[in-house]
Structure 1
Amino acid sequence: MSQSIRIATSEDYPKIMKIWESAVKSTHDFLSEADFEYFKKIIPIDYLPNLEVYLISENNDIKGFGSVSDDMLQMLFIHNDSRGKGLGKVLCMFLKEKTGFSKVDVNEENLQAIKFYEKLGFQKIGRSEKEGSGKDYPIIHMSL
C-alpha cells in the first residue's frame, strides 16, 4: 500500500471537511449539533487558509490531515474508515520531524485521542475548562 504526504491546497478543502466530519462524528460524541455545524462552517474559512495543512493519502486517496502552528499540533484527523491503521501515527511523526512541535491540546472527553497521544509519548501537563474558541469543552494540554 503506497502512502504519501503532501501540502493541501484550497481544492482539497471539501475532502478535508469530509474527513473532519467522519472523524468528529465517530470520536466527538460530546459535541452538540449546533457546535458541530459552527465548526464545520468556520474551519474552511478561518482555520485551513491560515495553516499549513498536510494530507496523508493511501494509493492517492486522501485519508487524513494534520497541521502544526508554532509548537502546537493544531489538528490531526483520520477518516473513520481508516482509523486504527497507523496513518495517524505516520502523519504525526512526519509533522513532528518537520516542525519539531511538542504540544497538543485534546478534548478531555476524547479518550481515544488522549490514549493515542500517550502512546506517542505525550504526557498530560494541564487542563482548561474551555476550548480555544471559548466553548465549554474541557481541554487536556499535553506535551512531549
Structure 2
Amino acid sequence: MSGILYGFIHCFKATQDAEAHNQAVLQSLPLTGALIIRPLFSVLPNSRGHCYYGHLMHFSSFMKDSYGFDECWLEQYEALLERLFWDSSEVLHTYCGERRTWGSKGTTELSRPTAMNICTRSRYPSYHDLQPIVDVDAAIIPRKT
C-alpha cells in the first residue's frame, strides 16, 4: 500500500493576470515523464462560492511505493513554486502522515505577477499519533432530516 500526496498552492491576488501567469506556468509542465506533471493540477478561479480570496491550484497523486516525501519530488515541487505567483502552499502525505508548508513574501503588494521565491518552509510530524477531538464509536450516526 502506498500513500496519497495532495495539497494546494494559493495566490491571494484576485486579478486575471495573476491567474493567467499561473495557468501559463502549469501549462508548461510536461504531460508525462516527471513527478510534477500538468495533469496533476487543477485551478479554482477567484469566485465568492469557491475561492473567495484569489485563486487556488490543487493537486493529488497516488504513486507506487510512496511511503513518505521523496527528495526528487520535493525538488521538482519547489522548482515549480519558484516559477509561480503564489502566497502559500501545503502538502500532506497520507501514508506517513507528514505535512509540509511553504510561504512566499506575498503577492498582495506586487503590481504585476512574477515568479516568487520560497521564504518559509515548515515540516510537521505525522498526524497518526494525534488523538481524536471527539471519539466517535463505530455506530452509524443518523442524519438530520
TM-score by length of 2: 0.31
Q: Between Structure 1 and Structure 2, whose CA radius of gyration is higher? A: 2
Taking CA–CA contacts closer than 8 Å with sequence separation of 6 or more, which of the two structures ends up with the larger relative contact order? 2
Tell me which protein shows more strand as a share of its residues: 1
Tell me which protein shows more helix as a share of its residues: 1
TM-score by length of 1: 0.31
